[in-house]
Structure 1
Amino acid sequence: MTGAELAIAASALVGTPFLLHGRDPRIGLDCIGVLEAAFRACGQKVTLPNGYSLRSRRLPALADLPAKLGLQETPAPVVAGDVIIVRPSPCQHHLAIATAPGRFVHAHAGLRRVVEGPFLEDWPVIRQWRPHPIRN
């Protein structure tokens, strides 16, 4: 799987309903569900953490996430397929998948669906990972 393949898989999820803890694109997805569904669409069998709250002052326990998904931490600039954790507010962390420099797919709780749009500059990037090229 390449970053470009992950970006295409994420883009295909745009319009999916938002559902906290959602893991099935037919029913609904949250931001971690978008990541899981995009990886599955690329042929990667993954099950990501669940049972977290929408708002929290602490970053969720993600220590094993990069290794589990074959991701490597990387500095900017962002390229298609990069996975980022942002902090939209002091009590919220959020995952997004880059589809191009400055554009991301993410599950938008306010709009109640998965969307693609420009990166919001006031959302600080906490972590950024890039897929290792993996062939299925």
Structure 2
Amino acid sequence: MEHGPQEIASRVLSQLGVPFRLHGRAKGVSLDCVGLVAIAIESYLDGRSVPQNYSMRGDFLNKVSDFFAALPFESQADGSATAAGDILLAEVGPSQLHLVVVTEDGWVHAHAGLRRVVRSTPQKDWEIIRHWRLNGE
């Protein structure tokens, strides 16, 4: 498999249709948004665990920000254009944060309401509160 942003995008696209499950971490079996991102960036984890102990609603912004700070990802300025392989943290509702992976054809994320991993167009009503890109890309 290729490396870099295209690898990240390819990994999430391979999970389209996988059932949603809160705290799901099983590739091809069940995923939540954190589990999907873990699969996408597994080549860069170097043995680190993804954030745990969070609920559907609540503030895990610091956990996610600290997690990405320890990885070879660079925070992008607010309003920066996105590219395939970027990871976004969006506020999708009151106290509801959600991770999304950007691909060339839209966003891929584990959708709790649809109960599966989906590809969608960018959601204009979601506030992007963090945006990470693989260093050097």
TM-score interval, normalised by the smaller of the two chains? 0.7 to 0.9
Q: Secondary structure at 1:126's aligned position in 2?
A: strand
Do the aligned partners of residues 93 and 5 (structure 1) sit closer, same or farther apart at CA in structure 2, a change above 3 Å counting? same
In structure 2, the partner of 1:62 is: 64
Aligned pair count?
A: 132
Identity, % of aligned positions: 36
Describe how 1:44-123 pairs up with structure 2 within 5 A: 44-45=45-46, 46-56=48-58, 59-75=61-77, 76-100=80-104, 103-123=106-126
Superposition TM-score, scaled by structure 1 size = 0.87
In structure 1, the partner of 2:15 is: 13
**In structure 2, what residue type is equivalent to 1:86?**
A
127, 131, 135: which one pairs with 2:134?
A: 131
Superposition TM-score, scaled by structure 2 size = 0.86
Q: Deviations over 1:24-83 (max 9, x none)?
A: 12430000000001222x475442011101011563522321133311011310000000
Q: Is the 8 A contact 2:44 2:71 kept in 1?
A: no
Q: Is the 8 A contact 2:9 2:103 kept in 1?
A: yes
Q: Secondary structure at 2:123's aligned position in 1?
A: coil
Q: For residues 43 and 85 of structure 1, what CA distance do their matches in structure 2 show? A: 18
